[in-house]
């Protein structure tokens, strides 16, 4: 019976759907990339003013903050965990950097805006590995706790500056070298930082021992443990990375808006999870890529821009959220189909 089954599946794999499936399953990024290209072409054909540098740079600028947080969240999701506290940690990073840079110490501010979030990430990770409570619940708790602490420390006051320090444009200024070349373009330096981080973490994920262990822990923690991987260490380190990236996103936030509020970044954790899933990360862990997640974030931003520009009379532009919702579920179904053995 089993030979009949294998013959049948071999036959099937030679034709049609199975060939496509194999093609898209071979790479974690081909699916999202293909999706983005299709969406982009459709909008370019049917939506006026879509295919301009103005809207393209707008799409990309809109993702730099979410995208930066998504880099860490994706690494974590690949190990099979969630961090719902990233929005709160980002606000904390923004306050630390904002306060110290306004006092003339941007270097120290940058350092602490990454170090303290790293510590908050370590708290998330250690709580998870020592108690065994699902990370979803642990970080749901710390999400409120961290933001609550920020309320207490800042007394709820917004931080704002009128000083346009040159250091701010390093992290999130206008990218004039590029903007002067392209008509109506409005790229920001944050995009370069995002691309840099995506490259670094994609490298770590696919080309280092740590990345290999992260994939293994997400795919089958028992096997990873059996093969001598220090599963707890991998998990705590990934939470630390996620915290650091959230802190750095806070630095970029303040550099762009010169403002940070206690409520800044609320909801970003879900946008990051959405981008990761649309970008091919398996929600149960073990598969995914950082640059796939970047494409996922771009897909969501493209949908938003496209729907707004379409200006459909009886559907308000806010309704793009419904489209994002459909996209997330479709992407999750596709990921499952591609990654799970038949």
Partner 1 sequence: MDEKRVEHGRNSLVWMDSITKKFGTITALKDVNFGVESGEVRALLGDNGAGKSTLIKVLMGIHQPTSGQIYIEGKPVSIRSPRHAREMGIEAVYQDLALVNLMSIGRNFFLGREMVRQFGPIQWLDIRRMEDITRKSLHDIGIEVRSVHERVGSLSGGERQSIAIGRGVYFGAKVLILDEPTSALSVAETRKVLHYIENARERGLAVIFITHNVHHVYMVADSYTIIRQGRSVGTYFKGELSEDDIADLITGDREV
Task: Give me the residues that bind partner 1 (CB under 8 A), please.
Answer: 2, 6, 25, 203, 207-209, 212-213, 215-216, 218-220, 222-230, 282, 286-287, 339-341
Min dist CB 27 to partner 1, Å, is 11
Tell me the C-alpha distance between 133 and 203, whole Å: 30
Min dist CB 227 to partner 1, Å, is 4
Min dist CB 25 to partner 1, Å, is 8
Nearer to partner 1, 47 or 129 (CB): 129
The alpha-carbon radius of gyration of the chain (Å, integer) is 21
Nearer to partner 1, 92 or 214 (CB): 214
Min dist CB 337 to partner 1, Å, is 13
Q: Tokens representing 310? A: 């379409």
Cβ–Cβ under 8 Å, residues 32 and 279:
yes
HEC string for the chain: CHHHHHHHHHHHHHCCHHHHHHHHHHCCCHHHHHHHHHHHHHHHHHCCCCCCHHHHHHHHHCCHHHHHHHHHHHHHHHCCCCCCCHHHHHHHHHHHHHHHHHCCCHHHHHHHHHHHHHHHHHHHHHHHHHHCCCHHHHHHHHHHHHHHHHHHHHCCCCEECCCCCHHHHHHHCECHHHHCCCCCCCCECHHHHHHHHHHHHHHHHHHCHHHHHHHHHHHCHHHHHHCCCCHHHHHHHHHHHHHHHHHHHHHHHHHHHCEECCCCCCCHHHHHHHHHHHCCCCCCCCCCCHHHHHHHHHHHHHHHHHHHHHCCCCCCHHHHHHHHHHHHHHHHHHHHHHHCCC
Nearer to partner 1, 252 or 338 (CB): 338
Min dist CB 75 to partner 1, Å, is 16
Nearer to partner 1, 215 or 300 (CB): 215
Min dist CB 187 to partner 1, Å, is 29
Nearer to partner 1, 194 or 224 (CB): 224
Nearer to partner 1, 9 or 131 (CB): 9
Min dist CB 339 to partner 1, Å, is 6
Q: Tokens representing 196? A: 């840099």
Min dist CB 208 to partner 1, Å, is 6
Nearer to partner 1, 151 or 203 (CB): 203
Residue with token string 């799409």: 59
Cβ–Cβ under 8 Å, residues 63 and 301:
yes
Min dist CB 219 to partner 1, Å, is 4
Nearer to partner 1, 267 or 341 (CB): 341
Nearer to partner 1, 313 or 341 (CB): 341
């Amino acid at each position: 019976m089993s030979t009949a089954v294998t013959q049948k599946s071999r036959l099937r794999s030679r034709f049609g759907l199975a060939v496509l499936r194999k093609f898209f399953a071979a790479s974690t990024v081909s699916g999202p990339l293909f999706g983005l290209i299709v969406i982009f072409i459709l909008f370019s054909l049917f939506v006026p003013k879509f295919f301009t540098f103005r809207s393209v740079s707008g799409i990309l600028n809109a993702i730099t903050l979410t995208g930066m947080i998504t880099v860490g969240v994706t690494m974590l999701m690949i190990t099979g965990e969630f961090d719902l506290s990233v929005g709160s940690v980002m606000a904390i990073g923004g306050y630390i950097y904002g306060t110290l840079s306004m006092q003339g110490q941007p270097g120290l501010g940058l350092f602490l805006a990454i170090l303290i979030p790293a510590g908050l990430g370590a708290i998330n990770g250690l709580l998870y590995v020592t108690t065994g409570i699902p990370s979803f619940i642990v970080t749901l708790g710390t999400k409120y706790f961290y933001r609550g602490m920020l309320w207490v420390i800042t007394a709820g006051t917004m931080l704002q500056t009128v000083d346009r320090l040159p250091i701010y444009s390093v992290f999130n200024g206008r990218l004039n070298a590029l903007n002067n070349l392209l008509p109506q373009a409005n790229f920001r330096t944050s995009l370069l930082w995002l691309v840099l981080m995506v490259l670094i973490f994609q490298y770590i994920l696919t080309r280092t021992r740590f990345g290999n262990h992260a994939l293994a822990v997400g795919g089958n923690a028992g096997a990873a443990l059996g093969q001598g991987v220090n599963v707890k260490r991998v998990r705590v380190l990934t939470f630390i990375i996620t915290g650091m990236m959230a802190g750095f996103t806070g630095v970029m936030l303040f550099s762009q808006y010169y403002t940070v509020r206690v409520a800044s970044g609320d909801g970003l954790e879900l946008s990051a999870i959405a981008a990761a899933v649309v970008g091919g990360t398996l929600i149960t862990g073990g598969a995914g890529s950082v640059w796939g997640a970047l494409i996922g974030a771009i897909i969501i931003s493209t949908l938003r821009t496209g729907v707004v520009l379409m200006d459909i009379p009886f559907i308000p532009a806010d309704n793009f959220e419904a489209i994002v919702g459909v996209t997330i579920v479709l992407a999750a179904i596709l990921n499952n189909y591609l990654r799970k053995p038949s």
